[in-house]
Structure 1
Amino acid sequence: MKKSNEEKRVVIYCRESRDDYGENYERIETQRDLLVKYCKGHGYTNIVDVIMDDDKSGTDFSRFDDIRNRAKNKEIDVIVFKNSARLGRNQKEALDFVEYLEEQGVEIIFEDEQYNEEMFGLYAWFNERRARDDSKNIRRNLRHKIEEGDLLVKAIYGYNKNGKQLVVNEETAPVVQEIFELYSKDWGYQKIATYLNKKGIPTPSQSRGFTNAKQSANWKAQHIVRILDDRRYIGDYVGGRTEKLSFKSKKTIVKPQDEWTILENHHEPIIDKELFEKVQKIRKKRKKESDKYNNGFKFVDVENNLYSGLLYCGRCGTPMYKRKGTSGTRKRPDSYLCKKYSNEGAIKEDIRENYGCTPHRIRIEYLDQIVNAYIDNLISNPEFKSFVMDNVKAISINKQTLEKDLNKSKQTLEKWEKQFKQVYEDKLNDLIPEFIYKDKKQELEKKIQNEKEKLEEIQSKFNSLNKLEDKEDLIFKAIEDIKQNGLTKEELSRLFDKIVVFDKNEITKEEKDLYNLNDMMYNELYENGGLAFHLKFMYPQTITNRWM
């Protein structure tokens, strides 16, 4: 039976976007009050939510993810906007969103214009053109302000922002000066970062109380690189270095240097030009040497990176990264290293608990041999085949049982829902008194909710068994492909969840249980170090000493 306006569950959606100068053409609270008044005037009294997206771009449709889920779960009947522009300014996304709501049976209402399904595509096109024109005007105004020397960004480390000017921060400016001085004395990026950590100097994000300060709790080499690379420290203002990819996108791109706006002697310098130029010459010289010998510590080989996302450090749990080898007098083979060790260096408990790690270095030539040996062991091991076949048989039996339970639960749910509808119709036709209707309604709602939860639990178990069954097939297929075509990233990902690299005396009793290791495997790994292979399903793992 069709719901009346009073019964429909209504969501009011308000959106207001500010331009880059913080201007706001209409208070979002005014928009909300207007829509609440409209709903009450048209009988939509069951307002279940008011969403206020203040300062949100009309081209970003991820803001509707929650509404999509609620529509899918049949939690809303109507959504009210001020107009089509408040919905969004991206034609394709707007059309897709409206189509999705209609498929879910959600009614769309615009307060100051008639919603017309046939005409909505045209409205969306006009709104997108408006967003494009607004974006161009904003960029033009930004460019003008940059050229006039107006500061449009946050102050960099070492400075504070006072109105439109950069003023020296007396606490952090000496840190910037020390960084330049140390680098000019042949200190490296990581050595300077470790030195600052040991002194307990707050990082740039910590010093300004950023919300993500915990993510930058330690100085890293990249912090030092950014500071040494920034000519704003000699008093020059550099603007317009980046721009958005398009008015629809949040992604930014770095513009060519000849398109930057550079204003010399814009503010008080922290570093004199002579020291800045000296540092740049040293950096340029070191880069040439690094390129010549191809031995930079950070030189990561992104090609043929078979184990990316699969190989993890056994001590700290961070991923391992591939370090390309070198030739010549300082020959170094291709290998994988712990990423935390790369970022922070060796373990230094005097700086912070859990600071740093050990390299956990493993040569790729050895890693390939170990992985191939492990796969050969799986194929030749009759226990492995027996284990998988028993799993397949057990999964099949469990699926049959769950399928029966699933059908039974669906039938029960359908029965309760029919009874609920019948009780509601009896109430509308005055066949039952109000107090009986309320009791029955409450009783049936509880039964329906319980049955839905039961059905969801059964369905989840059934889906899990389907995934396990698929994994059995994928594992055999992956092994077959590897033996025919050699190791590939795709097949390794189908076979393993992860591979963990342990040093000697590192693996714990808890990890023994986690990786399903027997006593012999655990003792070998504890005494010698090695690899723990975690397959896509639980199976006793084979351990091989990583040094072969």
Structure 2
Amino acid sequence: MSALENQVDWYKPILAARPEWTLVGQYIDEGITGTSAEKRPQFMKMIRDAKQKTFDMIITREVSRFARNTVDTLQYTRELKSRGVEVFFINDNIKTFDGDGELRLTIMATLAQDESRKTSVRVKSGQQTSMNNGVLYGNGNILGYNRVGKEMIVDPEQAKTVKMIFELYLEGNGLVRIKDELERRGRKTSAGKDKWYPTVISHVLKNSFYCGIITYHKEYTPDYLTQKKIKNYGEIEKTTVQGNHDAIVTVEEFERVQTIMESKRSSCKNLNTGRSTGKRPRTTVWGKLLICECGHKFSMRVWDRKDRIANAAYQCYNSVHTGSYESRKKRGLPLDDICQTPMIPEWRLQMMANYIFRKYLSEKDKVLMLANSMLEAHIADTEDMDDYGTLIEEKTSELSRLNKKLDNFIEMRSEGEISKEMFKTKATELEPKILKLQSEIAELETKQIEVPEIVDYQEKLTVLQYALEQYTNADENDVPESVIEAFVEKIVASKDGFDWYLRFDGNPTNPLHCTTKGKRKSTTSISVAGELSPAIHKPSTSSNQ
């Protein structure tokens, strides 16, 4: 019988001795640390059920089974008490409804938290010993190797890819050129994908595992309570040991690669290294409205020269990651599923906006009346949009949880708390889930978009009223961004042009299709074809301008 089953059976005689108690449910977080309540899904479900009045008492063996964080223990027991739910810690003989319950609970919770700290120290000490002996941590999903039991066996086909990456880099090729060459030769990633990314190649080149050396503490956990891992930028010393696996490249080749990469980093001006403090992403009206026909949002690019003003343009996120259709075509790379929408200069978008708004929005009084009624009708609205960032964060959190769960099973096995068969069963259940999540996260990262800010229609109404009152049809002035954002639902870009979905009737269905010809602003012409809502369509305007 496993340790978990023993813990569950421990409650049976207690329940049998109290017939007035009715068992509503059991909440079990298997293989998850108790230092942080938010990382325990069953614990959080219990709290939600308590708020719904599903039960009026929680029984637990001892304080350390409830939580090993003093703050969490007191916070949740107080919240439960306020909702009429008592917590009974049986071994500690503490009931939260008793007069001295919280005082005794605080003492026991502090002791439980200190025991967690001591356990963390013991675990880290044991891990360091294992690291010194070359024990491999993680799921072993390394390009060029297959994990067989506790050993990493070289995969001959994948090893060719690893050698090719190192050889190409030592020949003077950059990460993008190596990516193109791997795709041209049809080499597969560790997940069996055809698409490569420069970051993946960079990780391969920096991984000392390929020359037979295992590097530990690339990440570390600064707080034993939160159990959140962060990248190690020199805060703690890394541990390197000679591994028991076969190397794919020589130590000399690996060190030459590191020397070249370091020289390139040092030659780059304004290169940010170390821990990032975070920056707010650039958000413009075009970044909010533009959508590619392939479904991705657009990334803003800015470049400048000393002899002219900085220019901005927008590129589909798909093209950012895979390379543009034309550049791949020139390099002879596969073109399947590659977005063909070209990069869009910001001046081209502004030029189309100026043309459309001056052509169709000349009746200012009507426009302002329509704007008022339209925005007032949507003041309480919130707009639902895909947020890959949130999804990536959720999946990353789930991946971290599963990895920690696997580490806990490893620790339980090393302490003899579970049998070899039980460990093998649990590991077999977790590893496919971990691999699947890693693949899903990698795929979602290619679709990463900026999360748009929540629309404040009350503020927008005030701004729009002012902008429209100030706006005239003078050719030298650009249409204000507030006006564009208010009257444009979205702009779908493709290689064939732009579909402008306008809010003129409050429910746009037929877009206004625009195309442009010319590479320079001074020589570019605009062609518009489509039907507008009759609400403010100029009577003299034909369907083709």
Q: Which residues of 2 match residues 57-72 of structure 1 at below 5 A?
A: 57-62=33-38, 63=41, 64-72=43-51
Q: Indicate conservation of the 8 Å contact 1:340/1:357, yes or no.
A: yes
Residue 502 (1) aligns with residue 514 (2):
no
Contact 1:478 1:495 in 2 (8 A): no
- Mapping 1:153-192, distance limit 5 Å: 153-155=138-140, 156-161=142-147, 165-192=151-178
Instruction: Give the SS at the match of 1:248.
Output: coil
Q: Is the 8 A contact 2:145 2:152 kept in 1?
A: yes
When residues 361 and 498 of structure 1 are mapped into structure 2, their CA distance, relative to the original with a 3 A threshold, is: farther
CA contact 1:321–1:337 (8 Å) conserved in 2: yes
SS in 1 for 2:157: coil
Q: Paired residue for 2:75?
A: 96
Check 1:391–1:68 CA distance in 2 against 1; reply closer, same or farther (3 A cut): farther
When residues 265 and 49 of structure 1 are mapped into structure 2, their CA distance, relative to the original with a 3 A threshold, is closer
TM-score normalized by structure 1?
0.62
Question: What's the offset of the Cα at 1:286?
Answer: 4.5
TM-score (norm 2): 0.62
Q: Is the 8 A contact 2:498 2:514 kept in 1?
A: no
Assess if the C-alpha contact under 8 Å between 2:145 and 2:153 holds in 1: yes
Corresponding position of 1:335: 313
Q: What is the aligned-residue identity percentage?
A: 21
Structure 1 residue corresponding to 2:247, chosen from 251, 254, 269? 269
Cα distance in 1 for partners of 2:35, 2:460 equals 43
Find the counterpart in structure 2 of residue 465 from structure 1. Answer: none
Relative to structure 2, which stretch is displaced further, 257-266 or 349-358?
Answer: 349-358
- Partner of 1:325 in structure 2? 303
Within the candidate set 221, 235, 241, 2:198 is matched to 221
User: Given that residues 292 and 341 in structure 2 are in contact (C-alpha distance below 8 angstroms), is that contact kept between their aligned partners in structure 1?
Assistant: no
How far did residue 540 of structure 1 move? Answer: 10
Distance 1:307 1:116 in 2: 56
Deviates more, 1:121-130 or 1:260-269: 260-269
Deviation at 1:248, TM superposition (A): 1.5
Distance 1:230 1:540, change over 3 A: farther
In 2: Cα distance, 1:497 partner to 1:42 partner: 66
Indicate how the Cα distance of structure 1 residues 101 and 496 shifts in structure 2: closer, same or farther if over 3 A, else same: farther
User: How far 1:380 moved relative to its partner?
Assistant: 8.0
- Asked if the contact 1:233–1:270 (Cα under 8 Å) also holds between the matched residues in 2, the reply is yes
Q: 2:226 and 2:505 mapped to 1: Cα distance? A: 43
3-state secondary structure, aligned to 2:92? coil
Give the structure 2 partner of residue 140 of structure 1: 125
Which residue is equivalent to 2:514?
524
Matched, 1:307 2:297: no
279, 283, 299: which one aligns with 2:257: 279
Q: 1:231 aligns with which of 198, 203, 208?
A: 208
What is residue 79 of structure 1 aligned with on the other side? Answer: 58
Partner of 2:94: 115
Evaluate the alpha carbon distance shift between residue 285 and residue 473 of structure 1 in structure 2; reply closer, same or farther with a 3 A threshold. same
Runs (5+) with no aligned partner, structure 1: 1-23, 208-215, 295-300, 397-469, 485-490, 532-538, 542-548
Q: Are the structure 2 counterparts of residues 29 and 197 from structure 1 closer, same or farther at C-alpha, using a change threshold of 3 Å?
A: farther
Q: Is the contact between residue 183 and residue 279 of structure 1 (CA under 8 Å) also seen in structure 2?
A: yes
CA distance in 2, matches of 1:144, 1:481: 69
Confirm or deny that 1:29 pairs with 2:29: no
SS of 2:247's partner is: coil
- C-alpha distance in 2 between matches for 1:498 and 1:244: 45
Q: Which moved more, 1:382-391 or 1:342-351?
A: 342-351
What is the rounded CA distance, in whole Å, between the counterparts of 1:106 and 1:159 in structure 2?
53
Aligned length: 416
8 Å contact from structure 1 (residues 310, 493) kept in 2 = no
1:287 deviation in Å?
4.2
Amino acid of the structure 1 residue aligned with 2:461: F
Establish whether residue 40 from structure 1 lines up as the match of residue 31 from structure 2: no
Aligned-residue offset at 1:97: 1.4
> Offset of 1:277 from its aligned partner?
3.7
Point out where structure 2 has 5 or more consecutive residues left out of the alignment: 97-101, 272-277, 380-454, 471-481, 518-524, 529-534, 538-545
Partner of 1:53, secondary structure, is: coil
Distance 2:215 2:8 in 1: 41
- 1:12 aligns with none
Say whether residues 1:387 and 2:363 are aligned partners: no
1:253 to 230, 244, 247: 230
Verify the 8 A CA contact 1:242 1:255 in the aligned structure 2.
yes
Q: Using the alignment, how far apart are the partners of 1:106 and 1:383 within structure 2? A: 60
| DSSP 3-state at the match of 1:49 | coil
Shift of 1:223: 1.0
Per the alignment, in what secondary structure is the counterpart of residue 50 of structure 1? coil
Alignment partners' CA distance in 2, 1:138 and 1:323: 47
User: 1:395-406 counterparts in 2 under 5 A?
Assistant: none
CA distance 1:395–1:284, change in 2 (3 Å) = closer
The alpha carbon displacement at 1:303 in A equals 6.5
Q: Residues 515 and 261 (structure 1 numbering): CA distance in 2 closer, same or farther, change over 3 Å?
A: farther
Q: Which residue of 1 aligns with 2:343?
A: 361
Query: Residue 290 and residue 231 in structure 1: after superposition, are their counterparts in 2 closer, same or farther (change >3 A)?
Result: same
| Greater percentage in helix | 1
Q: How big is the shift at 1:102?
A: 1.9
User: What's the counterpart of residue 135 of structure 2?
Assistant: 150
Rate the CA distance shift 1:223–1:201 in 2: closer, same or farther, 3 A: same
Larger radius of gyration: 1
**Separation in 2, partners of 1:109, 1:84:** 9
Post-superposition offset of 1:107: 2.7
Partner of 1:3: none
